[in-house]
């Protein structure tokens, strides 16, 4: 299984480097001639080396959290040999609260633009529903709205190339427990398949998208699914000083030096994940991982390089969190890369 994944990973990265996109804007696409089958492992390999464009479209409004997407971000990302971008999107903040829950057309056009920029620079793109906070606290009240959002998103992008991936919901948690999430997930996938029969879908776990909930995830019968997880272990290291985490100031100064015990903890986590994936015959996408800026850069670099290398050793694709904000590998104010972190991800 691991050899199969590694070979597919390599072949798809080569394919991405050689292929060209058929559109600049991301708004008009010719379906063209499609093969009869999609290999989901090859699809996952398109996400081999990805980065999250975080703190932009998943903020309450773009720019509220200091990030406004620019074309040169996509250009820079491609130039450093990333293969894809994950674009977190807070659709729920830009849609009506009452049925039919219509998405704001201006906001949707902005998403079109972001996808189009990814394709212009030959990057695959993942879009999701991110920070839908209300559904986490009152899931039954918001289920129909979630499905209505996906009905609109699915119809809007149904003719886009297969390099566009849909991720159903970011980090289900709180009242959206594993049992409810499995039900919601099955219904969402069934609905999306009405307009996007061939679209590769990405599904995560409950309990904040962590590995601990993999055992509770029930996958529908669908051979075009990628399972995603987020990895921020040890949390006291990756989130030390994080303003949104209660008590995180007490963790300031936590180090990660790559001791045997520290490395074994990562190895064991990924070994168990790989075993689960092999049992279920699905590829894995580590959709988020990163260490916050308040950790010592030496330790951030060591942790990032090791987590990335272990993910690749198991054939997982990955997306670093994130491009140019608190975890960022790029300094948008100076328009320069943070080379130590960049090299930890993609040795230059």
Give residue-wise pLDDT tens across range 127-176.
Answer: 999 999 999 999 999 999 999 999 999 999 999 999 999 999 999 999 99
Q: Could you tell me what percent of the chain has a pLDDT over 90?
A: 89
At 105 the pLDDT is: 98
Report how far residue 202's alpha carbon sits from residue 313's, in angstroms, rounded to the nearest whole number: 21
pLDDT tops 60 at residue 23: no
Please check whether residue 311 is in contact with residue 303, taking contact to mean a CB–CB distance below 8 angstroms: no
Residues 6+ apart with CB under 8 A from 1: 274, 278, 315
Q: Residue 189 — φ and ψ, nearest 5°?
A: -65, -45
Would you say residue 65 has pLDDT above 60? yes
Nearest to 311 by CA among 255, 273, 265: 273
Q: How far from each other are the two terminal CA atoms of the chain, in whole angstroms?
A: 29
What is the pLDDT averaged over residues 280-291? 98
* The dihedral sign for the CA sequence 303, 308, 310, 311: positive
Mind giving me the DSSP string for 137-186?
A: HSHHHHHHHHHHHHHHHHHHTTTS-TTEEEE--S---TTS-HHHHHHHHH
Phi, psi torsion values for 296, nearest 5 degrees: -60, 135
pLDDT confidence of residue 28: 46
User: What is the average per-residue pLDDT within 313-342?
Assistant: 98
User: Does position 2 have pLDDT exceeding 80, yes or no?
Assistant: no
Of 203, 311, 283, the residue nearest 40 (C-alpha): 283
Q: What is the mean pLDDT of residues 202-210?
A: 97
Residues 6+ apart with CB under 8 A from 129: 89, 90, 91, 92, 146, 149, 150, 167, 168, 169, 170
Helix (H, G, I), strand (E, B) or coil at 311: helix
Q: Residue 269: what pLDDT?
A: 98
pLDDT band at 348 (very low <50, low <70, confident <90, very high): confident
Alpha helices (H) in 239-319, listed in sequence order: 260-280, 297-313
Phi, psi of 257, deg, nearest 5: -105, 0
Radius of gyration of the chain (CA): 19
pTM of the model: 0.91
The pLDDT of residue 12 is 42
Has residue 242 got a pLDDT over 70?
Answer: yes
Domains of the chain (ranges, CATH numbers): 2-23+36-345 (3.20.20.80)
| Angle of helix 297-313 versus helix 260-280 axis, rounded to 10 | 30
pLDDT of residue 26: 38
| Res 36: pLDDT | 58
Task: Please tell me whether the peptide bond between 92 and the residue prior to it is cis, using omega within 30 degrees of 0.
Answer: no
Phi, psi of 293 (to 5 degrees): -60, -20
């Amino acid at each position: 299984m691991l050899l199969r994944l590694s070979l597919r990973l390599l072949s798809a990265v080569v394919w991405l480097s050689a292929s060209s996109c058929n559109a600049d804007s991301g708004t008009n696409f010719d379906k063209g001639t499609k093969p009869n089958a999609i290999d989901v492992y090859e699809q996952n390999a398109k996400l081999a080396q990805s980065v999250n464009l975080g703190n932009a479209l998943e903020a309450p409004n773009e720019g509220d959290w200091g990030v406004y997407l620019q074309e040169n971000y996509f250009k820079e990302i491609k130039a450093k040999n990333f293969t894809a971008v994950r674009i977190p999107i807070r659709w729920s903040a830009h849609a009506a609260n009452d049925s039919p829950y219509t998405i704001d057309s201006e906001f949707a056009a902005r998403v079109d633009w972001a996808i189009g920029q990814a394709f212009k620079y030959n990057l695959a793109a993942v879009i999701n529903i991110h920070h839908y906070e209300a559904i986490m606290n009152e899931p039954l009240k918001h289920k129909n709205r979630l499905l209505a959002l996906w009905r609109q998103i699915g119809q809007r992008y149904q003719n886009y190339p297969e390099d566009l991936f849909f991720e159903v919901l970011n980090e289900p948690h709180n009242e959206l427990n594993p049992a409810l999430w499995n039900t919601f997930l099955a219904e969402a996938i069934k609905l999306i398949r009405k307009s996007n029969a061939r679209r590769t879908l990405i599904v995560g776990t409950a309990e904040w998208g962590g590995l601990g909930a993999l055992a509770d995830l029930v996958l529908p019968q669908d051979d075009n699914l990628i399972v995603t997880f987020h990895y921020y272990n040890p949390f006291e290291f990756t989130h030390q000083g994080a303003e949104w985490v209660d008590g995180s100031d007490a963790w300031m100064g936590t180090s990660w030096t790559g001791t045997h015990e520290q490395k074994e903890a990562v190895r064991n986590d990924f070994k168990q994940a790989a075993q689960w994936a092999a049992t279920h015959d699905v590829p894995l996408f580590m959709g988020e991982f990163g260490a916050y800026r308040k950790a010592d850069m030496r330790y951030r670099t060591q942790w990032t390089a090791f987590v990335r290398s272990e993910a690749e050793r198991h054939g997982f694709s990955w997306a670093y969190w994130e491009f140019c904000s608190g975890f960022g590998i790029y300094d948008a104010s100076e328009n320069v890369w943070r080379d130590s972190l960049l090299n930890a991800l993609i040795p230059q």
